[in-house]
């Protein structure tokens, strides 16, 4: 198995970090949905990979006229050739690309026409991400294009979507509005990946407006990183009173 890496260096053995565990977790989530058969799903993360099983299931439930709004600073269409962390591949999996062992479990894959990136930070796209978006004609709206809801509403209505699923990667938010983000670890300094530019108020306004023209039936909230609690716990757990 490859080592954990935080860079995008090319992987040598093309294995996914903790692949077996992640595949088992997804099987378990699928088994619950198969029994419970909900009509709407709200999922709290965890990392981006938590969206795969609920979105696949909901696409089975709503096979027609269902859109994905992918709120994220990053496109999440990497493959094991690019990185070893599955969380960067989950939209790729849902589109039939991504990580093969995960993509092949998707029973109701989406087409690129069903996907709109919301808040993608265009200037920080990596070359192979730009190439993938172009090759597959994936649509996106930048934070600047989302100053009003108009373009988003037009995309939904032009395509006659009746339902939509929202993947809310919190890193779509600017760290000045929301601090509990990977990019915002105390004392870390600038990071080499895209940092979000939206605010919570903008996100809720966009989703409320979108809810006027289609039904929000799936919502994943992912990549919450509560540094303060992690660090407080790590430091205070050293004290004898906690032993």
Q: Which residues bind a copy of itself (CB under 8 A)?
A: 40, 42, 170, 176-180, 184, 186-187, 200-201, 203-204, 207-208, 211, 215-217, 219, 221, 224, 226-229, 231-232, 235-236, 238-242
Shortest Cβ distance from residue 170 to a copy of itself (Å)? 8
Percent of residues in the chain assigned helix, strand, coil, to nearest 5: 40, 15, 45
Q: How far is the CB of 231 from a copy of itself (least distance, A)?
A: 5
Nearer to a copy of itself, 98 or 143 (CB): 143
Q: For 42, phi and psi rounded to 5 degrees?
A: -115, 125
CA distance 95 to 174: 27
Check if the beta carbon of residue 48 is closer than 8 Å to that of residue 89. Answer: no
Q: CB of 14: closest distance to a copy of itself in angstroms? A: 36
Nearer to a copy of itself by Cβ, of 50 and 207: the residue is 207
| Residue 171 neighbours by CB distance under 10 Å | 28
Q: Closer CB to a copy of itself, residue 193 or residue 227?
A: 227
Gap between the Cα atoms of 220 and 41, Å rounded: 8
Pick 190 or 242: Cβ nearer a copy of itself: 242
CB of 143 to a copy of itself, least distance (A): 16
For the chain, helix (H) and strand (E) counts, in that order, are 8, 6
Cβ atoms of 181 and 171 within 8 Å: the answer is: yes
Handedness of CA 36, 39, 45, 48 (dihedral sign): positive
CB of residue 44 to a copy of itself, shortest distance in Å = 10
* CB-nearer residue toward a copy of itself: 38 or 109: 38
């Amino acid at each position: 198995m490859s080592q954990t890496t935080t860079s995008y260096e090319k992987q040598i053995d093309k294995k996914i970090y903790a692949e077996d565990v992640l595949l088992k977790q997804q099987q378990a989530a699928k088994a619950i949905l198969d029994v419970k058969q909900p009509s709407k799903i709200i999922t709290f993360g965890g990392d981006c990979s938590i969206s795969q099983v609920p979105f696949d299931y909901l696409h089975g439930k709503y096979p027609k006229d269902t859109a994905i709004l992918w709120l994220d600073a990053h496109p999440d269409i990497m493959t094991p050739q690019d990185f070893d962390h599955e969380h960067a591949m989950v939209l790729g999996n849902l589109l039939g690309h991504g990580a093969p062992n995960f993509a092949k479990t998707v029973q109701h894959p989406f087409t690129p026409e069903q996907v709109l990136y919301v808040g993608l930070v265009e200037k920080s796209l990596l070359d192979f991400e730009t190439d993938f978006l172009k090759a597959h004609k994936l649509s996106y709206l930048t934070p600047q294009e989302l100053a009003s809801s108009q373009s988003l509403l037009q995309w939904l209505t032009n395509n006659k979507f009746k339902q939509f699923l929202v993947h809310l990667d919190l890193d779509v938010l600017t760290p000045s509005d929301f601090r509990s983000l990977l990019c915002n670890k105390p004392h870390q300094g600038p990071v080499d990946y895209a940092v979000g530019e939206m605010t919570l108020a903008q996100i809720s306004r966009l989703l409320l407006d979108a809810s006027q023209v289609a039904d929000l039936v799936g919502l994943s909230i992912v990549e919450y990183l509560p540094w303060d609690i992690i660090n407080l716990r790590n430091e205070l757990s050293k004290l004898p009173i906690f032993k």
